[in-house]
Structure 1
Amino acid sequence: MYVNVYRQHQNIWCVWCSSDAFSGLKSIDSDCLIPLREIVQITATESVSAIELEDFYIDEKSDAISSQAAVSYEFVEDGQRLAEVLKPFQTCQVIAVDTETTGLDSLKDRIRLVQIAAPNQPVIIIDLFKVAKETLAPLRELLQGTPIKVLQNAKFDLKFLQQAGLPIAGKLFDTMIAAQLLDAGVRSHGYNLAELVKVYLGEELSKEQQRSDWSHPSLSSEQLEYAARDAAILLRLREVMKPKLTGARLVKTAKLEFDCLGAIAQMELNGMLLDLSRWDSLRQELEQRRNQMAGALRQQFQPALLSAQLDLLGNEVSLNLDSQPQVLEALQQMGVPVENTSKLSLIPLAEGHPPVRALLDYRKAAKAVQAFASSLPKHVHPITGRIHPDYQQMGAATGRMSCRNPNLQQIPRDKIFRSCFIPAPGYRLVVADYSQIELRVAAELSGDRRMIEAYQNDEDLHRLTAALIADKSLDQVEKSERQAAKAVNFGLIYAMGAKGLAEYAYNNYGVQMSLKQAETFRKRYFEAYQGIARWHGAIKRKLPREMRTMGDRLRRWKDEPKLTELLNTPVQGTAADITKAALAKLPAALKETGAKLIGTVHDEILLEAPEKTAEPAAKILQQVMEQAGQRYLRKVPVKAEVAIALNWAEK
């Protein structure tokens, strides 16, 4: 039996020789494996410590509220009574926290009720409309205290409580996040509280009062019972989820997710500042460019149609560039060998057919106007004047975050777009991103010697790849060849085909690549990086239904997975784990600088810092990010590149 030397601290066996189902994440180079008998003892600093496991209460058998018991509660409208009723909760090991609010916008709506539940205690319902702020100290102390706080969709409550001057600190347990981790990418139900109660407890939870008027001066008994039940049932949910997380080896991943909840809530509350004047100028410029490109394209395409399109009066109708049949007919009449107008079909033909190139450029310009330029100002908040997106912490099955309303993670990297995002007066943006983190993870996972050595020697991997696939010396590599090598590196670690590589190169790097070129690059890449090739081949032979990241995050497939997904999951998922590990540490690390988290785009983290503390904040950000990476990667060094800027484009 063998163990992977990079994962030695976790006692993980090699998947290629009777593994423990840690599928596909080992190096398959023999010198990266050591005999099991040589395993060293696990240290507390390298894994979830005994203290952390105890805090998670994995083995604890607490007195959770029975499913058949009626939920008793005490309604508190008097601040003088608050200290007395909360006194028993201060010594609890775990409490549940829930809120009822007047709306969904934490920046303009208010909390009406805060509910606190604990085993063998009545649920305490606190009316924040009635209890004076100066008497809330006992509640504030409890929320900042040592008990583990159990919440459902914790980010929502964290933001409202923060705005109410009742921030939560300490250990959290989010039942929604726990359920998403347990599903591991195979989703068969929703993640609202009623769905989770049905799935994990086998009960129906009425949500009839959810949309009732929580701003009314007098709340009904039905509303109060609903509020109490929602809080109490969280304790029972957690008791069911704990052994499931343990059985699925997801305790460490759950702790990571719970630890970065506060940072994500902060990012959403802080938001990003958009220079509306500059953005409007950009919108006008983009619309003008789109219209010019559309006019030029119609002049090329219109004569090629078999017969001019006529209206009822016999007048020629202008070509509709959004009509696939019309565009396809024009392309075919111009001699372009294409059966449809999908991007995948068009990109390999762009180099040899100028009309195809012009069509792709037009579509890109039209998308820029439609998806970003016209819609983004609508998301500027009327109170803060900033954009506050909604980050989905478990947005992808790999564990990667997504973003919506608006999706700032899809803002093009072009300087004309990013220059419109600015800091507040007297502040600076501090922007850092990981250098080639997914390639570094792939190097570690595959054990590819050439790639690992390049990173250890601080070589430019893109230049190295360009030299290898072009059969040139490093000093002969041109800038355009290095740019093409970026697409090759990032695309082929996931075993893209030649067509997919050509599309990826154009979409992400603006590189035109013919199908023949893509095939040649692909062949030479795998000849150069044989460790990557062997890793791909081993995964392809097994096609496992489960994969894990280097942090043990799990992903399952109901049906036979695609090879690209099997390769993407451990790489992208480990990169996501690294970013989240950094986010979890940053609020405390940055506290003295006054810097605030304002956004993240996969491997990039953005701060807004006072001018005087921007430099120390930048050093802290870089240090925390690199330390987070080295928790996962043992042989490949991790680098974060940081900049202090007046706008997002200056990174």
Structure 2
Amino acid sequence: MSVTFDNLVRAVAPDFPTDREVKASRDVVSWYKVVWSSRVLMVPPLNVVRNNMRELERFAEAVRAFATMDFSSPMYKWDACDLNLQQATGHDVAAAIDQAHHYLLTGRGGAVRTDATNRAWVSCDIETRRVEWEDNKLLSVGFGLNDNTALALFDCDWKSPSIHKALQDLFRDPELMFIWQNGKFDCGRLKWLEDIDARVDQDTMLQHYACINEKQGTHDLKDMGQLYLQAPAWDDELDQYKREWCRQHKKPLKEFMYDDVPIETLIPYMQRDCIATYRLHDVFNKLARPGSEFIYSQLIRASNVYMQIELNGQRLDVEYLEELEYDLEQRISEAQARLDAVAEHIWNPELYKQMTGAKSASDKFKPTSPKQLKWMLQELLGYPVPSTDATMLATLLAEVESGKIDNPDAKDFIEAIGDVRKYSKYLETYALGMRDVVCRDHRVRCTFNLHGTETGRLSSSGPNMQNIPRNKLIKNLLVATPGWKFLQLDYSQAELRVLAMLSEDPALIKIYQEGKDLHDTVADMMFGEGGHLDREKRNLAKTINFGIAYGRGPSSIAEKFGKSMAESRQIIEQWFKPMPKVREFINKRRRMAIKGEPCVTLLGRQRHFVITNEAMHHIQNEYINTPIQSLASDFTLLSLLSIHDYIEENWKGKARITTSVHDSILLEVVDGDPEMMLEIAKTCIQIMSETPLKYVPDCVVPFTADAEVGYKWGELTELDMQTGLEKTDENS
């Protein structure tokens, strides 16, 4: 059947009303705008929608939003005459806050919206000089008081006792429901800059992510406002000013500071942010996917908890940082010298130009040139390599380690390239990167992105703690605060335990119930009793154990272990043979993808896919991986929230969470009291063990967590569960 706009619209919105229409337009400016007089949504031409996955996803979301529009609602009016934009400055700010507070409490049942418990809605936004923690200041605070009214506060002394008290009284009022767009950022900066405690009750960014569209890059307030509220691009004037200012001052956009923006431009921008946030929350309440309520409520909890974790930060060893920078520079220099030694008798610029058609070539080999690097590798290996990216280099390094590549020059060259890239990344991303963001108290505060991945796995930035290398060279940059000690709690094989739970495979469940070593047991199941004693066989079992949830196939086994495709298929068959229910689970998930069945996790997260023949293999792998990775990640998140509550209730001031990385949670505990350390560790381990059963009551797979302690993140030692001290040979 040929695809037409009509059947595409019906596929996206089966109950699309008959009183409105979707029409294509070649005018890009008109896309996703509504012609109110005729109730028509203008969209890109069919060929644009069909050939651009991102456009197709935006089309689908726009059509669903348009299908539910109430054309009689004032929600879509944005002219200045339709909005009540109020301002207060200087000594009038405290009184304006108190008046707004009174209006919210007395206006319930009228223009002020309320939630199910009669809390008055109030949307909030702030503007700061910059997004970073340091060299920053609070410029303005805004409140959305109803669908059309926003109050802006600015040009005042935020530390004035009367202003501080008025703001604190408002933010602490349990009768108010605070709505933000990325409220973790705003509340964190209010605390950091002005010691104002604020909370996140609702968040349109997280609501859109959890309840409507999990796709990355779709949660920006401006984009959502235009799509769901038909709002104008109210920040265009601000963006234009930023670009012009940077052009005139010859500075990059990242160096722009918002206190350079004229107040008459900044304040209306913030006020419209407040009104858009207020209105979007109402729209999203109506459009929220059934079954998404639980995960959204937990993300709101997490927003408040991770705000505190960001404020806690991690201690940076500044003295070690100095040493590390010098050490890394030396390592890079040594690796470069090894590269140069090989290149000196291999690199031939004339031959390179002749073989590649390059018009010019440097006299000396440039390892930063992908074309030159490909040519060098071809000369050394005797065959062409398809690319020089990180994946290809990892493959070549594995072949060097396994002995498949035994040419001395090739080995030296590939290892040197690997070292140059590795240590350069360590230097630029972590050593220099942390120096750029460290705060005056010697702590690094990254940003945790609760909406950063489509599966729900946590991501972070500035710096990216989720990808920090295991190498202690880098992890030792982060140390316990003097007088404190690290306690790290780490789920044991969380994703594989989730696979056992979801597949209900008796053999895999039995391994965990009996507390056996998974990799040893699976190696014996695949290769016979004693199979785990063979290093390669155990590594094969381990590789498939961890790769099965990501759709690892025979080609990756063949590539990593130097096996033929036939051998690799046989190895995978040997893995599945004692665990047939795992195969059934995987095959079922593949069939679900083909049929386009919903991809929903046990806790209510959902992935959306536009299914095409070209993308089918990738989508099938995502159908397999999503329920596993998502649930394992959510178990860690839910455990962290419970651990935070436990610490707040019992050990406030004596323990705190400083970060989480994948399946592990890192705490600082006041040093010198082993009994306290032991009690906290035992309770946290119990929380992590009980969390899966709490949210999946029929779970028969035991979940366990390990505990480590120490003073440097890269040198943690197993905690002795009898003494509360580091485990040693003497006390083990």
- TM-score with structure 2 setting the length: 0.70
Matched, 1:267 2:282: no
Task: From the superposition, tell whether residues 275 and 106 of structure 1 become closer, same or farther in structure 2 (CA, over 3 Å).
Answer: closer
Residue type at the aligned position of 1:582: S
Aligned ranges 1:68-87 → 2 under 5 Å: 68=77, 69-73=82-86, 75=88, 77-79=92-94, 82-87=97-102
Cα shift at 1:418: 1.9
- Alignment counterpart, residue 193 of structure 1, candidates 217, 221, 226: 221
Q: For each residue in 1:251-289, what CA deviation from the matched residue of structure 2 results, as whole angstroms up to 9, or x when unmatched?
A: 112112111002222232332223243344444444544
- Alignment counterpart, residue 625 of structure 1, candidates 684, 688, 704: 688
Q: For each residue in 1:282-315, what CA deviation from the matched residue of structure 2 results, as whole angstroms up to 9, or x when unmatched?
A: 444445445545555665676567898699xxx9
Cα shift at 1:384: 2.8
- Alignment counterpart, residue 657 of structure 2, candidates 597, 617, 620: 597
Answer with 344-353 or 465-474: which moved more: 344-353
Structure 1 match to 2:32: none
Cα shift at 1:75: 2.2
State the alpha-carbon separation in 1 of the partners of residues 381 and 153 from structure 2: 73
- Alignment counterpart, residue 640 of structure 2, candidates 583, 598, 601: 583
Structure 2 match to 1:31: none
Q: For each residue in 1:588-616, what CA deviation from the matched residue of structure 2 results, as whole angstroms up to 9, or x when unmatched?
A: 32222422322221111212232145444
Task: From the superposition, tell whether residues 477 and 632 of structure 1 become closer, same or farther in structure 2 (CA, over 3 Å).
Answer: farther
State the alpha-carbon separation in 2 of the partners of residues 328 and 216 from structure 1: 47
Task: From the superposition, tell whether residues 294 and 488 of structure 1 become closer, same or farther in structure 2 (CA, over 3 Å).
Answer: farther
- Alignment counterpart, residue 421 of structure 2, candidates 367, 370, 376: 367
State the alpha-carbon separation in 1 of the partners of residues 381 and 160 from structure 2: 75
Residue type at the aligned position of 1:204: P
Task: From the superposition, tell whether residues 148 and 360 of structure 1 become closer, same or farther in structure 2 (CA, over 3 Å).
Answer: farther
Aligned ranges 1:438-453 → 2 under 5 Å: 438-453=495-510
State the alpha-carbon separation in 2 of the partners of residues 440 and 645 from structure 1: 28
State whether residues 186 and 558 of structure 1, in contact with CA within 8 Å, keep that contact through their aligned partners in structure 2: no
State the alpha-carbon separation in 2 of the partners of residues 382 and 438 from structure 1: 35
- Alignment counterpart, residue 443 of structure 2, candidates 386, 390, 393: 386
Residue type at the aligned position of 2:284: M
Aligned ranges 1:171-182 → 2 under 5 Å: 172-182=201-211
**How many residue pairs get matched?**
575
Matched, 1:640 2:682: no
Residue type at the aligned position of 2:611: D
Matched, 1:152 2:181: yes
- Alignment counterpart, residue 543 of structure 1, candidates 589, 593, 599: 593
State the alpha-carbon separation in 2 of the partners of residues 391 and 536 from structure 1: 31
Answer with 514-523 or 423-432: which moved more: 514-523
State whether residues 283 and 374 of structure 1, in contact with CA within 8 Å, keep that contact through their aligned partners in structure 2: no
Matched, 1:277 2:319: yes
State the alpha-carbon separation in 1 of the partners of residues 473 and 431 from structure 2: 16
Answer with 230-239 or 352-361: which moved more: 352-361
State the alpha-carbon separation in 1 of the partners of residues 166 and 670 from structure 2: 33
Q: For each residue in 1:20-46, what CA deviation from the matched residue of structure 2 results, as whole angstroms up to 9, or x when unmatched?
A: xxxxxxxxxxxxxxxxxxxxxxxxxxx
Answer with 139-148 or 211-220: which moved more: 211-220
Where does structure 1 lack aligned partners over 5 or more consecutive residues? Answer: 1-60, 506-511
Structure 1 match to 2:55: none
Q: For each residue in 1:310-364, what CA deviation from the matched residue of structure 2 results, as whole angstroms up to 9, or x when unmatched?
A: 99xxx99555445555555555556655543554563674432224655553343
RMSD: 3.6
State whether residues 151 and 175 of structure 1, in contact with CA within 8 Å, keep that contact through their aligned partners in structure 2: yes
State the alpha-carbon separation in 1 of the partners of residues 151 and 659 from structure 2: 35
Cα shift at 1:413: 0.9
Structure 2 match to 1:462: 519
State the alpha-carbon separation in 1 of the partners of residues 349 and 150 from structure 2: 76
Task: From the superposition, tell whether residues 338 and 348 of structure 1 become closer, same or farther in structure 2 (CA, over 3 Å).
Answer: farther
State whether residues 85 and 150 of structure 2, in contact with CA within 8 Å, keep that contact through their aligned partners in structure 1: yes
Q: Secondary structure at the match of 1:581?
A: helix
Q: For each residue in 1:60-85, what CA deviation from the matched residue of structure 2 results, as whole angstroms up to 9, or x when unmatched?
A: x9x99744442243526343564344
Structure 2 match to 1:340: 386
Residue type at the aligned position of 1:167: D
Cα shift at 1:451: 0.7
- Alignment counterpart, residue 292 of structure 2, candidates 237, 250, 275: 250
Cα shift at 1:397: 1.3
Matched, 1:436 2:493: yes
State whether residues 590 and 624 of structure 2, in contact with CA within 8 Å, keep that contact through their aligned partners in structure 1: no
State whether residues 96 and 150 of structure 1, in contact with CA within 8 Å, keep that contact through their aligned partners in structure 2: yes
State the alpha-carbon separation in 2 of the partners of residues 294 and 620 from structure 1: 50
Q: Secondary structure at the match of 1:631?
A: helix
Structure 1 match to 2:247: none
Q: Secondary structure at the match of 1:417?
A: helix
Matched, 1:554 2:581: no
- Alignment counterpart, residue 276 of structure 2, candidates 220, 230, 233: 233
- Alignment counterpart, residue 190 of structure 2, candidates 157, 161, 172: 161
Residue type at the aligned position of 1:370: S
State whether residues 339 and 417 of structure 2, in contact with CA within 8 Å, keep that contact through their aligned partners in structure 1: no
Structure 1 match to 2:726: none
Identity of aligned residues (%): 21
Matched, 1:529 2:583: no
Q: Secondary structure at the match of 2:686?
A: helix
Task: From the superposition, tell whether residues 301 and 255 of structure 1 become closer, same or farther in structure 2 (CA, over 3 Å).
Answer: same
Cα shift at 1:484: 4.6
Residue type at the aligned position of 2:196: L
Q: For each residue in 1:560-594, what CA deviation from the matched residue of structure 2 results, as whole angstroms up to 9, or x when unmatched?
A: 34222221111111122222222333433222242
Where does structure 2 lack aligned partners over 5 or more consecutive residues? Answer: 1-69, 107-118, 243-256, 354-360, 717-732
Residue type at the aligned position of 1:142: L
State whether residues 101 and 109 of structure 1, in contact with CA within 8 Å, keep that contact through their aligned partners in structure 2: yes
State whether residues 159 and 269 of structure 1, in contact with CA within 8 Å, keep that contact through their aligned partners in structure 2: yes
Answer with 147-156 or 402-411: which moved more: 402-411
State the alpha-carbon separation in 2 of the partners of residues 558 and 326 from structure 1: 39
State the alpha-carbon separation in 1 of the partners of residues 491 and 96 from structure 2: 51
Residue type at the aligned position of 2:177: I
Structure 1 match to 2:545: 489
State whether residues 447 and 462 of structure 2, in contact with CA within 8 Å, keep that contact through their aligned partners in structure 1: yes
State the alpha-carbon separation in 2 of the partners of residues 433 and 469 from structure 1: 28
Q: Secondary structure at the match of 1:528?
A: coil
- TM-score with structure 1 setting the length: 0.78
Q: For each residue in 1:526-582, what CA deviation from the matched residue of structure 2 results, as whole angstroms up to 9, or x when unmatched?
A: 223211111122222342544122211000112334222221111111122222222
